[in-house]
Structure 1
């Protein structure tokens, strides 16, 4: 489903002062919430503009829409945030200064401990920005520290669900269960994933890097999550989803090298679903 769907929580955040009840006190609360949302947006914009980000990473902003994506997920600078499988730290470069400025806490969690090596390199090179970032193992096996159960306000994962599903043993169901345990009741799981259209063969998920929305939602709901919103912030209608070498054919990987390079650059990065789940409060 490509149309923008926002449920009540997201609608309130977007409607600002218009979201008030007849009771004057409720109206005041809604206005205060709008002011808070504005402040959070300013903080996110400042983190996206941080001078500590690498030029190569900021060049991906037009495709990944970090400010809009984090705002959609309701990320606040004072939150306890968990970023799963950060890779080279593309989003870590934004989340670290955001939480540092806002008094929040950032965990990065990945397979212990090779999956965290590039974040460790950032910490060694720039302790002022990344020194407070906490390292954890995910999925947890007992080899390293885990994110404390019930401690996170927000868990974020960007283009990783296909890796849990098809990166050897299928760890998807267990991964979502562990994420559910990390979050506080009422906490948010934000997922961005390469999108395979529902009408295309499900077998394409296995090697293409794309996943169907129904597959991702199914795993999340089986773990206890409720889908509360989705957005086409990261959609790309130019993506045909049918490349011999999968999603990695497109930028930034460009696995075909110079073959049809300009064609793939013109398409841009992959078509992505942006899904917001919550852990029910009770």
Structure 2
């Protein structure tokens, strides 16, 4: 199938897959985890943009689930998922390997994340840290995960050339019928996708194709993180916008008014035999 034909098919799939977010229902345990005063104040301040309750509901995360979060970074989602899953479920944090693949800032990510967990064992003593990165794909024992989640990371794997290997790893980790949830900055549809995603944006149809090529079945998308103010033509790509503000104070008020990048949520399922 040519890419042009694929785009048309993907558009039809999106139109018929129930892209609007379903009602969030009521999950008091998840609300309690989000409202936990132990969360980092700067993280909690981003909840209006990141919508953690709606996102985790859409990805079918339940307190009894085995959940793998890929590349947790500073731990925005860790601070919610670890206490939420602590009693009944299992939380794997697939962080950069300890050596960072020889990259200094990734070594620092690992050290800071490890220090965060060690500083609060009451919340984090059951977090299972695994290694993820180029050449490190054992994010959880094969066929054990109910849900694999990744938040704004696909563009990094595209940049480093291992997006396909990453998706194959997630497929191995999931149980048949398990869910893969992808959040990413949504790229423009009037421009071809840069396979290295240098500006941090990824076309939604391109992301769907990558996951389908790994064997996943597309279930549907959500517009919970849509931001129509984002024109996606910024001088430093997505990092021009909050929370990064790569231009510093230059035009800061303008970019603050735009807000965080337009985003998509895509849900896939590993087929059952």
CA distance in structure 1 between the aligned counterparts of 2:80 and 2:92, rounded to whole angstroms: 13
CA distance in structure 1 between the aligned counterparts of 2:179 and 2:82, rounded to whole angstroms: 18
- The answer to whether residue 175 in structure 2 is matched with residue 181 in structure 1 is no
> Which of 101, 105, 116 is residue 110 of structure 2 equivalent to?
116
CA distance in structure 2 between the aligned counterparts of 1:42 and 1:4, rounded to whole angstroms: 31
Query: Per-residue deviation at 1:205?
Result: 5.8
Relative contact order, CA 8 A, sep 6+: which one is greater? 2
Contact 1:87-1:118 within 8 A present in 2 as well: no
Unaligned runs of 5+ in 2: 1-10, 99-106
Contact 1:188-1:278 within 8 A present in 2 as well: yes
Contact 1:205-1:212 within 8 A present in 2 as well: no
Contact 2:158-2:196 within 8 A present in 1 as well: no
Query: Per-residue deviation at 1:3?
Result: 6.6
> Which of 196, 199, 202 is residue 190 of structure 2 equivalent to?
199
Q: Write the deviation string for residues 109-160 of structure 1: whole angstroms up to 9, x where unpaired.
A: 0221235323211112101101110010124746x96410001000000000
Contact 1:231-1:273 within 8 A present in 2 as well: yes
CA distance in structure 1 between the aligned counterparts of 2:17 and 2:110, rounded to whole angstroms: 34
Contact 1:230-1:275 within 8 A present in 2 as well: yes
After TM superposition, the score normalised by the length of structure 1 is 0.83
Q: Which structure's residues are more often helix, by fraction?
A: 1
CA distance in structure 2 between the aligned counterparts of 1:197 and 1:146, rounded to whole angstroms: 31
Counterpart residue number, 1:232: 223
Contact 2:185-2:262 within 8 A present in 1 as well: yes
Q: Give the 3 Å change call, closer, same or farther, for CA 166–154 of structure 1 in structure 2.
A: same
After TM superposition, the score normalised by the length of structure 2 is 0.86
Counterpart residue number, 2:249: 258
> Which of 76, 79, 89 is residue 104 of structure 1 equivalent to?
89
CA distance in structure 2 between the aligned counterparts of 1:162 and 1:148, rounded to whole angstroms: 25
Counterpart residue number, 1:31: none
Contact 1:83-1:109 within 8 A present in 2 as well: yes
Contact 2:139-2:173 within 8 A present in 1 as well: no
Counterpart residue number, 1:58: 44
Q: Write the deviation string for residues 48-88 of structure 1: whole angstroms up to 9, x where unpaired.
A: 11122111000000100000000011100110000000000
Counterpart residue number, 2:233: 242
Counterpart residue number, 2:147: 154
CA distance in structure 2 between the aligned counterparts of 1:95 and 1:46, rounded to whole angstroms: 11
Matched position secondary structure for 1:83: strand
Unaligned runs of 5+ in 1: 16-36
Contact 2:193-2:206 within 8 A present in 1 as well: no
Structure with greater Cα Rg:
1
- The answer to whether residue 210 in structure 2 is matched with residue 222 in structure 1 is no
Bigger mean CA offset, 113-122 vs 271-280: 113-122
